[in-house]
A and B are shown apart, each in its own frame.
Chain A
Amino acid sequence: MTTDLNRRRFLISALAGCSAAASPILTPVTMASAPWDNRVVVIILRGAMDGLDAVRPVGDPDFAGLQDGKLRGGEEEPLMLDNFFALHPALSDLMPLWQAGELSFAHATSTPYRDKRSHFDGQMVLEAGSGNDVDGRPRDGWLNRLMQIAPGVEASTAFAVGRSRMAILDGEGPYSLWEPRTGLNVSPQAERLLELIYHDDPLFRDAATQAFEIVGDIDAEPDPSDEMSADMNMMAEVSGNGSLNAEVAKFVVERLRNETRIATFSINGWDTHVRQGQTLPNRLRGLARTILMLKAGLGPVWSKTSVLVMTEFGRTARINGTGGTDHGTAGAMLMAGGAIRGGRVLGDWPGLRVADLYQGRDLLPTRDIRAYAGWTMRGMFGTSSSDIERVLFPGLELGADPRLLL
């Protein structure tokens, strides 16, 4: 079994086109091998989360004028984060993390994408990390480019979890993609014959090799320790509707407690054009539950973890005619984890007067969201500034260190 697994590992890494330096031929493979000890989880909120509603600038005198009272605010007591920003009441479950210094936000941030406000291009720019170049599809995602340059990585170092491909981790570098509710039951003979008929078709070969490898890994793993089971039970308690499926969350934390160092997945449904007061709270509660599930399930590993929650762009500063918001520009991102220096809302505040708004309608971006991601990678994985500015995020100026981590 071990030999078989190693052979598969070799196959997948070699086929994934990783460099000689990262090849298991030169770097002995063990289950526990990983280039870093820290963990990063990147959650993409698809559909554009309204940053002005999630993290409300209630201290800005112009904020109230943009509201109709029902959308951002309402009757519930605002959860003051500091003397300027208040948290959406639906995120109240995260207040203990804020108080413990395990939760931060960056506001008035965006990718370099501007003006057409297309979800699909916006997500492409966010995941490619390559700036505002959307001519044709980008070759790879920024997390994948990290996998291409980091030494000693293998397919299991970085996991995309879910049924769909994640562009952020897609590319030539090794990585894994799996939906934990998928089984694969074929005889050993059929498995060998499938390898044979897929051998000359890289698309099928790579996908199937990885499928067999992951199924093999899951079967081969020892039962979780008692301590880990206890953490999993806690996780089950915080799971619920609207958040990451408990089985998927369990899979994510199991990976991260083993050899995986980067996990990424997306949560859909943030495109709140209509009745945002009703639709957004469910999403936010689900997001809070997801983060709490990760914290509970990761147990001792949480202290080495940084979770980045990013969305393709913000939404209009004003309420639209249907009780929602339309596609905008700058928004907010969320950072959580035991490794972060929490309890802060980062970013220069651009103001909300009409003249302050981007094109008179959207929150103005004051910092590139890639800078926060870049500083996180630098602190968590020791990626060099030049690699961040040239390889991960070409054209980015990292700028002043926001001191995101402890």
Chain B
Amino acid sequence: MSFDPHIAVTRFGAGLSPHHALPSDVASILAEAAAGDPLAARWPLMKLQDVIKADEDIRVLSGIAHKKRGTEEADAAKTARKAIFDAMRDAETYDIGGLVARMLAQPYGLGERLVQFWSSHFTVRGRGGALQYGVGTLASVAIRPHIMGRFEDMLLATVMHPIMLLYLDQAQSVGDNSRTAKLRPERGLNENYARELLELHTLGVDGPYTQDDVRELAEVLTGLTFQRGEGTIFREIYTEPGAETVLGKRYYGEELAPIKTVVRDLAAHPATGAHIARKLAVHFVSDTPDEALVAHVAARFVETQGDLAAVMAALLEHPAAWKIERDNVKWPLEYIASSLRVLGMTEAQMAAANVRQIDKIVRRPMVGMGHVWQRPNDPSGLEEEDESWITPQAVASRINWAMNMPRRFGIQLPEPAELLLRIAGPSAPPELAFAVNASESAREAVGLLLASPTFQRR
């Protein structure tokens, strides 16, 4: 088992494409991912400060609509508020178009796959107001800059992101002995974020922490909160006085210093390395990954204290990463984007799509496939088990999409025989070749190819 260009772009990239040559080695895939986001200027994603501004504007307008209800001023405020909501909703949809465009434009596409992987690892949901549409800013601010950087920097950036602090209730948590709690005894500690930080983001649920560590970490985090109209701030009067002990180490100090220290310590913990290594191997290679592969990646994580470029190199250099069997199934967004990509759609064609079309071809079909975009039920992230994605109704949704959407979107469909070659190479499974020939129409043949396990697996 060794490097294979076909596996390289399907398993570790955005998928096959008639427009991009296959990579010749692992180094070029890693180099592309490390080169950042070349489409940032052409496809600007939503900005965090705009989301915070919209949130504040909505608060002000709601205040006017409430206090002056019955007046023309209130009606104008409601109209203005609706316009902001509509613009935010459109911006969120447009951002999905931006992600698909990136997956069409990048020659290999490991970077976009990593953005999706880490966005799932740090799953958030926008709480209320305009923030519900701003989930994507976590990826732009906290994830994109660090996919080939240091895990501790990524983790700290998520800790500082207002949508994370709101989602996991950190923004409202105050120390039980803080000055705020002394004045307002009903306020106090909320341990939700501390628990998920340990369980989901760093050590993993089997990691070496106890209920006391959760509690003490929650106390370290006090002071970190959200100010409407501003963003993440540190509020001294929320802090629990004194030192706290997390995993046997004492943390104390001024303002953000102990928070930053504990976050960096958690990021570098060997249990975090083991947790992240397994998640990467499961996501990219197999739900039941080779233990030697996991150990190899985990060791690199620990050696380099979470240098993600080195960690990804460790994953891609290991022979078990190149196993022939395609154990995993594409996630819904990846499935849709790789379908458009293999059909030959270009980034320029994507740029011509309006918000309604993006909604119709990407966001809404994803719901049927089991992924409600940016509206997770809980912070545990997208499922990795293939059985979660290939359920009867999800497979029906994938079949419906494959059969109907590309044509409705006005994509010029390739010749079925050519698409077969593109997807399966010269050694296509005989039943797939037979099915393509036996189809009643070219559209159906293309649909069958996109719906086939050969294309859906990676």
Whether A403 sits at the interface, judged by CB under 8 Å, is: no
With A170-B387, A321-B173 already in contact, the answer to whether A163 and B393 are too (CB < 8 A) is: yes
Residue among A177, A185, A194 having the largest count of chain B Cβ atoms under 10 Å: A194
Instruction: Give complex CA distance A115, B329 in Å.
Output: 34
What's the minimum C-beta distance from A60 to chain B, rounded to whole angstroms? 22
Are A115 and B211 neighbours in the complex by a CB distance under 8 Å?
yes
Q: Would you call B211 and A359 a contact (CB within 8 A)?
A: yes
Q: Mark B365-407, 1 if CB is under 8 A from A, else 0.
A: 0011010000001101000011110111111110110011000
CB pair B391–A207 under 8 Å, yes or no, is: yes
Evaluate contact between A118 and B190: CB separation under 8 angstroms.
Answer: no
The proximity string for B residues 112-143 relative to A, scoring 1 for CB distances below 8 Å and 0 otherwise, is: 00000000000000000000000000000000
Q: Is the CB of B190 within 8 A of A324?
A: yes
Number of interface residues of B (CB under 8 A): 58
Partner of B172, one of A208, A271, A322: A322
User: Is B448 within 8 A of A204, CB to CB?
Assistant: no
For the complex, give the distance between the alpha carbons of A193 and B436 in Å.
Answer: 9
B187 CB contacts on chain A under 8 angstroms: 321-322
Whether B392 contacts A186 by the Cβ 8 Å rule is: no
Give chain A residues whose Cβ lies under 8 Å from the Cβ of B195: 117-118, 327
Q: How far is the CA of A185 from the CA of B199 in the complex (A)?
A: 42
How many Å lie between the Cα of A268 and that of B368 in the bound state?
Answer: 18
What's the minimum C-beta distance from B383 to chain A, rounded to whole angstroms? 8
- In the complex the two chains form, what is the Cα distance from A210 to B399 in whole Å? 13
Measured CB to CB, the closest approach of chain A to B211, in angstroms, equals 6
Contact of A273 among B192, B370, B457 (CB under 8 A): B192
Q: For A47, what are the chain B residues with a Cβ–Cβ distance below 8 Å?
A: 378
B392:A274 contact, CB within 8 angstroms: no
Q: Hey, which chain A residues are within 8 Å of B35, CB to CB?
A: none
A118 contact set on B, CB distance < 8 A: 195, 199, 205
B125 nearest CB across to chain A (Å): 11
User: When the two chains form their complex, are residues B453 and A68 in contact, meaning their CB atoms are under 8 A apart?
Assistant: no
A309-327 at interface with B (beta carbon < 8 Å):
319-324, 326-327
State whether the Cβ of B307 lies closer than 8 Å to any Cβ in chain A: no
**A214 interface hit (Cβ, 8 Å):** yes
Which of A98-106, A195-203, A297-305 is found at the contact surface with chain B? A195-203
A164 within 8 A of B: yes
| Proximity string of chain A (152-188) to chain B, C-beta cutoff 8 Å, 1 when within and 0 when not | 0000000000011100001000001111001111110
Contact A215 B444 (CB under 8 A): no
Residues of B within 8 A of A117 (CB): 195, 211
B34 within 8 A of A: no
Cβ of A176: which chain B residues have Cβ within 8 Å of it? 392
Say whether A84 faces chain B, with CB atoms less than 8 Å apart: no
The residues of B that contact A274 with a CB separation of less than 8 Å are 169, 172, 190
- B380, B391, B444 — which one has the most chain A CB atoms within 10 A of its CB? B391
Q: B41 an interface residue at 8 Å Cβ cutoff?
A: no
Query: Considering the chains assembled together, what is the distance between the CA atoms of A120 and B174 in angstroms?
Result: 26
Asked if A321 and B378 make an inter-chain contact with CB atoms under 8 angstroms apart, the answer reads no
Report if A214-B392 is in contact (Cβ < 8 Å); known contacts: A190-B440, A273-B192, A274-B169: yes
> Could you give, for residues 208-228 of chain B, a 1 whenever the CB lies within 8 Å of some chain A CB and a 0 otherwise?
001100000000000000000
Are the C-beta atoms of B399 and A178 separated by less than 8 Å?
no
Min CB–CB distance B162 → chain A (angstroms): 16
**Cβ contact of B448, chosen from A119, A165, A197, A210, cutoff 8 A:** A197
Assuming A165-B387, A322-B190, is B453 touching A201 (CB within 8 A)?
yes
Query: Would A200 and B431 count as touching, CB distance under 8 A?
Result: yes
Interchain CB contact under 8 A, B432 and A197: yes
Q: Name the CB-closest residue of A to B386.
A: A203
* Least Cβ–Cβ distance between A16 and chain B, in angstroms: 12
Q: Is B111 close to A, CB under 8 A?
A: no
Q: Min CB distance, B288 to chain A, in Å? A: 10
Could you count the A-B residue pairs with CB atoms below 8 Å apart for me: how many are there?
164
> Which residues of chain A are near B357, meaning CB under 8 Å?
none
Query: Chain A: interface secondary structure?
Result: loop
Inter-chain contact B390/A204, CB cutoff 8 Å:
yes
Interface contact A187-B378, CB-CB below 8 Å: no
Minimal beta-carbon separation of B318 from chain A (angstroms)? 22
Please state if B192 and A326 are interface contacts (CB–CB under 8 Å).
yes
Best-surrounded residue of B191, B395, B429 (most CB of chain A within 10 A): B395
Which of A164, A184, A208, A268 contacts B370 (CB under 8 A)?
A164
Closest Cβ neighbor of A207 among chain B residues:
B395
The reply to whether the CB of A211 lies closer than 8 angstroms to some CB of chain B is yes
Bound-state CA distance A211–B172 (Å) is 45
On chain B, the residues within 8 Å of A397 by CB distance are: none
Closest CB of chain A to B53's CB: distance in Å?
24
> In whole angstroms, how far apart are the Cα atoms of A47 and B376 in the complex?
13
**Can you list, as one digit per residue, whether each of B429-458 has a CB less than 8 Å from chain A (1) or not (0)?**
101101100111000100110011110110
Nearest Cβ on chain B to A305's Cβ, whole angstroms: 25
Take A177-B392, A197-B453, A271-B378 as given contacts and tell me if A182 and B368 are in contact as well, using a CB distance cutoff of 8 Å.
Answer: yes
Given known pairs A46-B378, A116-B199, the reply for A322 and B452 (CB within 8 Å) is no
CA distance A115 to B320 in the complex (A): 36
In the complex, B156 has a CB within 8 A of chain A: no
Q: Are B399 and A208 in contact (CB under 8 A)?
A: yes
Chain B CB within 8 A of A189 CB: yes
Closest B residue to A170 by CB, please name it: B387
In the complex the two chains form, what is the Cα distance from A283 to B439 in whole Å? 49
Query: Are A68 and B186 interface neighbours, CB within 8 A?
Result: yes
What is the distance, in angstroms, from B58's C-beta to the closest C-beta of chain A? 19
Q: Say whether A321 contacts B190, CB under 8 Å.
A: yes
Residues in A neighbouring B188, C-beta threshold 8 A: 320-322
Bound complex: CA of A177 vs CA of B380, how far in Å?
Answer: 22
Q: What distance in Å separates the Cβ of B34 from its nearest Cβ neighbour in chain A?
A: 33
User: Contact between B186 and A323 (Cβ–Cβ < 8 Å)?
Assistant: yes
On whether the beta carbons of A190 and B447 are closer than 8 Å, the reply is: yes
- B181 in the interface (beta carbon within 8 A): yes
Bound-complex Cα distance A47 to B189 (A): 19
B248 to chain A, nearest CB (A): 18
- Among A68, A177, A359, the residue within 8 A (CB) of B393 is A177
Q: Which residues of B contact A183 (CB under 8 A)?
A: 396, 400
**A121 adjacent to chain B (CB < 8 Å):** yes
Q: Is the CB of B451 within 8 A of A326?
A: no
Contacts of B435 in A (CB 8 A): 193-194, 196-197
Decide: B190 and A326 in contact? CB cutoff 8 A. yes
Given known pairs A118-B205, A322-B187, the reply for A185 and B393 (CB within 8 Å) is no
Q: Does B95 contact A (CB under 8 A)?
A: no
For the complex, give the distance between the alpha carbons of A227 and B217 in Å. 59
Picked from A119, A186, A193, A320, the residue with its CB within 8 Å of the CB of B190 is A320
**Smallest CB gap from A179: residue in B:** B393
B92 at the interface (CB under 8 A from A): no
How far apart are B186's CB and chain A's nearest CB, in angstroms? 6
CB distance from A268 to the nearest CB of B (A): 5
Q: In the complex, what residue of chain A is closest to B199 when comparing beta carbons?
A: A118
A322 in contact with B399 given A179-B393, A203-B390, A207-B392 (CB within 8 Å): no
Closest partner residue, chain B, to A182 (CB atom): B393
A255 to B172, CA, bound (A): 45
Chain A 319-348, CB-CB to B under 8 Å as 1, else 0, gives 111111011000000000000000000000
B429 to chain A: which residues have CB within 8 Å? 197, 200
| Bound-complex Cα distance A205 to B94 (A) | 35
In angstroms, how far is the closest chain B Cβ from the Cβ of A164?
Answer: 6
Residue contact B199 to A178, C-beta cutoff 8 Å: no
How far is A116 from B198 in the complex, measured between Cα atoms in Å?
A: 11
B190 near A187 with CB under 8 A, answer no
- 4 closest Cβ contacts across the A-B interface? A321-B188, A211-B392, A182-B393, A193-B435
Q: Identify 15 residue pairs between A and B in the complex whose beta-carbon atoms are under 8 Å apart, listed by A's number.
A: A165-B387, A165-B391, A179-B368, A184-B400, A185-B403, A189-B440, A194-B435, A197-B451, A204-B395, A204-B453, A207-B392, A208-B392, A211-B396, A269-B377, A321-B186
Q: Given A116-B205, A196-B435, A207-B395, 5 more contacts at CB 8 Å?
A: A46-B377, A179-B368, A182-B396, A207-B392, A321-B173
